[in-house]
Amino acid sequence: MTMNAATISFSFPGLAPLAAERSNDSSPWEDHRAALQDAVREGTRVRREEPLAAKTTLRVGGAARLYAEPISPADLATLLRVARARGVEIFALGRGSNLVVPDEGVDGLVVSLGHESWAAFEPRADGRVWVGAGLRLKNLCGLATKAGLAGFEFLEGIPGNVGGALRMNAGAMGGWMFDVVEEVRLISLAGDITTLPKAAMHVDYRHCAELHDAIALGALLRPASPAAGEAISRQIDVYRKKRHETQPREPSAGCIFKNPPGHSAGRLIDECGLKGERVGDAEVSPVHANFIINRGHATAGDVIELVRRVRAKVRAARGVELSPEVLLYGGKWEDKL
Ligand SMILES: Cc1cc2nc3c(=O)[nH]c(=O)nc-3n(C[C@H](O)[C@H](O)[C@H](O)COP(=O)(O)OP(=O)(O)OC[C@H]3O[C@@H](n4cnc5c(N)ncnc54)[C@H](O)[C@@H]3O)c2cc1C
């Protein structure tokens, strides 16, 4: 990644040599945990074997070997540097609304910007607004409405936060996240912070290349225009109603497959008669064929098997290769499909 703007470095305390000795647990993960914990300050907790299913909307999968919610950029930078020095892989977690967490969990450090300090919403005098990566899109819409800032309505109903929406270039109702982005502040996995203008970023359908190996800290957004709160609310209601009518209510990770060029993935799956197809408690939604829902006790294995089955049937019947939009957290779909 090119870092073409001011780069800020944080110093961090050295690894504590006694970290492993203080614990009775001799696993290397406990050793990593203790070293990470010793390096941060200000109340950032580093936990072992943190269950992830409840931190996702699909509610499947195992635990993160290591998990932290840093409360400051300095602590985040320290975590990244120490993890990297120890060869521990790093994974950003947003609201978990586009993820399948594997049943075996994630071998690495999962970092969530869940602390309230990452949820800034700061309108500027020039009309633009700074938002923290941990701000929920729902709150962004609500706060923008109150501030009379139009242009973010299309984000209503996407259950992610700003960081996840930037990484995925989330889109709905004809709009994409990067339509409203002017610049993104991010931290590299080496712990260096930089700000990139949109023009320097490589963004397309459900993808932002610069956030593959970096964590977004926040973004400067440009609203479409000032508008009356009432008009904004009305538009949001229209979008909310549309979602209500067309999407399932059960736990899911949103659309499971990308729309192939010239096709709607949902329509292809529907035309293959796959609505209601089930593996364990994972089911192709009868409401929207591109959603896999969790009927209660689905495992990631069930979801993956269903993804495999749907792809195979669509390929055989229509000759179209569907590729997942939902990410396999900590792994690669190629290894599973
Ligand atoms: C009911 C439902 C409806 C949905 N509707 C839509 C829709 O209309 N349009 C749409 O585009 N999506 C939709 N989604 C999918 C999902 O909400 C979006 O992809 C969303 O942007 C993911 O955000 P998140 O915070 O949940 O990210 P997560 O799912 O937690 O993470 C997604 C990816 O982003 C990365 N990431 C998270 N935070 C950061 C960060 N700070 N910096 C860098 N990378 C980060 C993660 O590592 C992961 O690779 C829907 C999902 C559901 C469940």
Output the CA 77–ligand 1 centroid distance in Å: 23
Three-state DSSP class for 109?
strand
Calculate what percentage of the chain has a pLDDT beyond 90.
Answer: 88
Judge whether 12 lies within some domain: no
The domain boundary, picked from 67, 100, 116, lies at 116
Nearest to 61 by CA among 322, 279, 304: 304
* φ, ψ at 46 (rounded to 5°): -110, 120
Q: Are residues 50 and 141 in the same domain?
A: no
pLDDT at residue 26, rounded to an integer: 67
State CA 193 to chain mean position distance. Answer: 20
Burial of residue 329 (number of CB atoms within 10 Å: 0-12, 13-18, 19+) = buried
CA–CA separation, 285 and 301 (whole Å)? 17
How far is ligand 1, taken at its centre, from the CA of residue 286, in Å? 23
Non-local CB neighbours of 267 within 8 Å, separated by 6+ positions: 289
DSSP state of 53: G
Nearest residue to 78 via CA among 22, 15, 27: 15
What CATH code is carried by the domain that includes residue 281?
A: 3.90.78.10
Nearest alpha carbon, ligand 1 atom 10: 170
Q: Supply the range of the domain harboring residue 150.
A: 118-230
Ligand 1 pocket mutation, candidates 58, 97, 208, 247, criterion most atoms within 8 A of CB: 97
CB within 8 Å of 192: residues ≥ 6 apart: 3, 7, 8, 9, 77
User: Among 202, 230, 258, where does a domain finish?
Assistant: 230
Domain-terminating residue out of 197, 230, 263: 230
Domain count, the chain: 3
Residue nearest atom 20 of ligand 1, based on CA coordinates: 160
187 inside domain:
yes
Q: Which atom of ligand 1 is nearest to the CA of 253?
A: 53
Are 112 and 122 found together in one domain?
no
Contacts of 39 (CB under 8 A, 6+ apart): 12, 13, 14, 15, 16, 78, 79, 82
pLDDT at 7 over 90: no
pLDDT, one tens digit per residue, over 149-160 is 999 999 999 999
188 three-class SS: strand
Compute the distance from residue 96 Cα to the ligand 1 centre, in Å.
Answer: 6
How are beta strands 99-100 and 327-328 bridged, if at all?
parallel
Q: Ligand 1 centre and the CA of 42: distance in Å?
A: 28
In a domain, 2, yes or no: no
pLDDT at 10 over 50: no
Lowest mean pLDDT among 24-28, 138-142, 274-278: 24-28
163 pLDDT above the threshold of 50 = yes
Q: How far is the CA of 20 from the centre of ligand 1 (A)?
A: 36
**Residue 328 CB: number of other CB atoms within 10 A?**
21
How many other CB atoms sit within 10 Å of the CB of residue 312? 12
> Is 5:194 a contact under the CB 8 Å cutoff?
yes
Tell me how far CA of residue 128 lies from CA of 104, 200, 224, 274, in angstroms: 43, 19, 10, 45
CATH of the domain at 178: 3.30.465.10
Report if residue 62 sits inside a domain.
Answer: yes
Pocket lined around ligand 1, Cβ cut-off 6 Å: 57, 91-99, 113, 133, 158-161, 163-165, 167-168, 170-172, 211, 215-216, 247, 252-254, 327
| Total-model pTM | 0.92
The pLDDT score that the predictor gives to residue 231 is 87
CA-closest residue to ligand 1 atom 47: 92
pLDDT of residue 276: 98
Report the nearest atom of ligand 1 relative to the CA of 57: 53
7 is a domain residue: no
> How remote is the CA of residue 16 from the centroid of ligand 1, in Å?
36
Question: In angstroms, what is the span from residue 256 Cα to ligand 1's centroid?
Answer: 12
- The pLDDT value recorded for residue 328 is 98
Ligand 1 centroid to 164 CA: how many Å? Answer: 4
Q: Whose CA is nearest to atom 14 of ligand 1?
A: 254
pLDDT for 227 equals 76
- Mean pLDDT of all residues in 76-104: 98
CATH value at residue 108: 3.30.43.10
Asked whether residue 144 is domain-assigned, the answer is yes
* Direct distance between the N- and C-terminal alpha carbons of the chain, in angstroms, rounded to an integer: 29
Residue 12 has pLDDT above 60, yes or no: no
With 60 as the cut, is the pLDDT of residue 168 above it? yes
| Confidence band, pLDDT 50/70/90 cuts, at residue 225 | confident
In a domain, 297, yes or no: yes
The pLDDT value given to residue 228: 80
Pocket test for ligand 1, best of 112, 140, 158 (most atoms within 8 A of CB): 158
